[in-house]
Amino acid sequence: MAQNRFSSGSGPSQRQLRVGELVRRTLSDVLIRGEIHDPDLNRMSITVGEVRLSPDLKIATVFVMPLGGAGKAEAIAALKRNKHELRRAVAKNMTLKFAPELRFLTDETFDRLDDTRRMFSDETVQRDVQAGSTEVDDPDEE
């Protein structure tokens, strides 16, 4: 069954992904070059991990992490304080009819990776993984 433009798909469209990556790169460049006139923001080294756009491309949720993970609240506050200037910088580098509204959230990806590593290093989990790998049946052994 073909999907029309009003139905909800299982994930973001190619256009959302492409524009999200463009916004991510643009914000990263602006932050690296220190183009925003805020000394607090320019003092921080902030990684822009991902940008997710709404289906209409009007809202961009930007996932960020300060270098080393310290000062997350301060980084989010500085970005929110300068969101209009950041939006202008994004608009200048894009060919969209409207620049998306920017919303900033802390990127929890690194925390989830640490939790996953911790879980896999647990001896009970390792024992279960090793037991599961020896129980895999070989289809040629019948």
User: Does the model's pTM come out above 0.85?
Assistant: no
What's the mean per-residue pLDDT of the chain?
Answer: 83
Residue 1 pLDDT exceeds 50? no
In the numeric block, which tokens belong to residue 141? 């052994």
- Topology classification of domain 14-107: GMP Synthetase; Chain A, domain 3 (3.30.300)
Kindly list the domain boundaries of the chain, sorted by start residue.
14-107
Please tell me the chain's helix, strand, coil percentages from 3-state DSSP, rounded to the nearest 5: 55, 15, 30
Q: So what's the pLDDT on residue 107?
A: 86
Lowest mean pLDDT among 33-47, 79-93, 109-123: 109-123
The torsion angles phi and psi of 5, rounded to 5 degrees, stand at: -70, -10
In the numeric block, which tokens belong to residue 139? 């289809």
H or E element in which residue 59 lies = strand 59-66
Residue 125 pLDDT exceeds 80? no
Grouping H, G, I as helix, E, B as strand and the rest as coil, residue 47 is strand
Higher pLDDT, 24 or 115: 24
* Each residue's pLDDT tens digit, 21-69: 999 999 999 999 999 999 989 999 999 999 999 999 999 999 999 987 7
Q: So what's the pLDDT on residue 141?
A: 53
pLDDT confidence of 16, banded at 50, 70, 90?
A: very high
